[in-house]
Structure 1
Amino acid sequence: MKGTNTVIEIKTRQAFRAELGSLEVPLIRPRPTVVLVYKRDCPPCEKLKPLLGALAAGPYRDRVAFYQISYPIFKLFQPEIRIEGVPALFFLDAHGPQTHMYGTQKDELKQGLDTLLFVSNGVFSEVFDSQTP
C-alpha cells in the first residue's frame, strides 16, 4: 500500500493498524495524513472522493498520505471516536497533532491541508480551486 499516489481505501483491521495505527492517540507519522470517513449513498461524500484523488495524485503527491474508510468500518475499528456527520475528514500532522472537520466547506478543507504542510492559507493547489464550486 505504501508509495502509491492515490487515496487508499482501508477495509481491514490489519490495514487500518498498519497504515493509521489509531486516530485516538496522536502518533508520529512518516508524513502528514488525511483520512476521509464516508458513507455509501452520501452525495457530499461522493463529491469529495474525486477531489481527494486529484489532490493525492497532483500537488500533494508524496507530501501527504490520503486514506478513505467507510463509516461502518471506521466505527468498528475506532468505536471511541464520535463522528457528528459525514463526510468527516481527519487531518493528522506528521508530528502527532490532529484536527478534524465535517462536510465539504472549501475554506475549511484548504485550512486543514495548509496546516498539515505549515504553509499560509494562500498556498493551496489549483486542483482544489478548479474542481470545487
Structure 2
Amino acid sequence: MSEAVSHNPVGWFEIYVDDLDRAVAFYEATFGVTLESLDAPDTGGPPVTMKTFPMAMEASGAAGALAKMEGVRPGPGGTLIYFSCEDCAIEAARAAEAGGTVQQEKMAIGQYGHIALVKDTEGNLIGLHSQK
C-alpha cells in the first residue's frame, strides 16, 4: 500500500557548471527555451551565479537553474536529473547539435515511456524522458 503524497519529492534543482555562457547556450539550444538570470541570496558563502529554466510556480514538477559557484564542480557520478520532453529523441538530437554527447539513444522503459541520456557541454549527465 503506498502512502498518499501531496507533492512531488523534488522541489528545486541546480546543475553546476564551469562555463555558464557555454552551458546556457547548450540548454537553450537543446530545449528551445530562454534561461533568465536569478539573483541568488547572499548566504555568507561563496557567491553563486544562476540562470533559471522557465518555470511556472503554480504547476507541478520541479523548477531549477544552472549554477556556477567556486568549489562546486560539474561532472558525472552525481545526481541524475530527467527533463520531461514530448519526444526525447528530438531533444537528444538537439543536444548533440548543441555540443553535447548522446550517451544512450532513446530506449523504451516499459509502461513508463522512453528515456535518452546525454552529456552536456560541462560533462554533466542528464536524462530525457517522454511518454512516446
Q: Smaller-chain TM-score range?
A: 0.3 to 0.5
Higher relative contact order (CA 8 A, sep 6+): 1
* Structure number, greater radius of gyration: 2
More strand by share: 2
Name the structure where helix makes up a greater proportion of residues: 1
